[in-house]
Homo-oligomer: A and B are copies of this chain.
Amino acid sequence: MSVKEISRNKVFGGWHIQYTHQSDTLNCDMRFAIFIPHNATQSNPVPAIYWLSGLTCTDENFMQKAGAFGKASELGIAIIASDTSPRGESVANAEDYDLGQGAGFYLNATRQPWANHYQMYDYVTEELPNIVETNFAVSNIKSIAGHSMGGHGAITIGLKNPDQYRSISAFSPICNPINVPWGQKAFSTYLGDNRDSWLEYDSVELLKKSRSVLPILVDQGDLDGFLTEQLKPETLIEAANLNQSPVQVRMQSGYDHSYYFISSFIDEHIQFHAKYLFAD
């Protein structure tokens, strides 16, 4: 449970800090980053938003580009950015950008050689919050958010753990991975050909099965190059309507898949989560 600080920057009165630690879940060394607002103290631990990034990203993309710290500082919310997969020379990898390191898809792999390390679902839902709540002035009151592959991660993880999170939000999520190329490639590789095992990692299938307890906010740019082939927000809307799940999908005119898009609406996402993080 010990963490080692590797960088520290003051930002908006609080601190952005990167840590490494030995992950028992992933069986390798991992890095994550945390923003701790200035008002966080041991006697006043702050709630947190856990951020899951997209394909090829690390803990750094969101922290450097999203422009989230002004609002998080103002509201007194910590932000934790996970890496997107296990890492290291001993960790299985692939040549492709959408498989292996940088592409963990926030699931627990069952096929070798992936299963030894690719247990990102357990890492994000158990080990990482345990480390954060043990080492920092951060409470166990949390929400979850992400982008693209990380939007898929945020929605599936939130839907499956409604007691652990207060709210869910996503930018440009892969809504229905079992029916799109990115998801089919990853799931067949990490989980095998039995498609029944895929269903528990698919936001649309989870929403079809039961109503979401948690509120979900999704922003999607209509000029996103991945919109029709990989993301398919219409499948999420349809599934949410089946059981009247509290899902709001906002199509944003002219926006693409980039962090320029995320930065334009991140304050609204933080404000959305704050409503639930600070509710009694």
Contacts and interface: CB of A to CB of B under 8 A. Distances in A.
Contact of A10 (B10, B11, B16, B260): B260
A250 interface: no
Interface stretch (A20-28, A63-71, A115-123): A63-71
Nearest to A15: B254
A259 B10 contact: no
A9 B70 contact: no
A256 interface: yes
B260 A9 contact: yes
Contacts of A221: 10
A162 B221 CA distance: 42
Contact of A264 (B13, B65, B254, B264): B13
A264 to B, nearest CB: 5
Interface residues on A, range: 20 to 34
A11 B64 contact: no
Nearest to A63: B260
Contacts of A67: 67, 70, 263
A272 interface: no
Contacts of A69: 260, 263-264
Contacts of A260: 9-11, 16, 69
Nearest to A252: B10
Contacts of A64: 64-65, 259
Contact of A256 (B10, B70, B256, B258): B10
B9 A261 contact: yes
B10 A255 contact: yes
A267 B259 CA distance: 19
A131 interface: no
A19 interface: no
A1 interface: no
29 contacts: A9-B258, A9-B260, A9-B261, A10-B221, A10-B254, A10-B255, A10-B256, A10-B260, A10-B261, A10-B264, A11-B260, A11-B261, A11-B263, A11-B264, A12-B263, A12-B264, A13-B264, A16-B260, A64-B64, A64-B65, A64-B259, A67-B67, A67-B70, A69-B260, A69-B263, A69-B264, A70-B263, A70-B264, A70-B267
Interface of A: 9-13, 16, 64-65, 67, 69-70, 221, 223, 254-256, 258-261, 263-264, 267
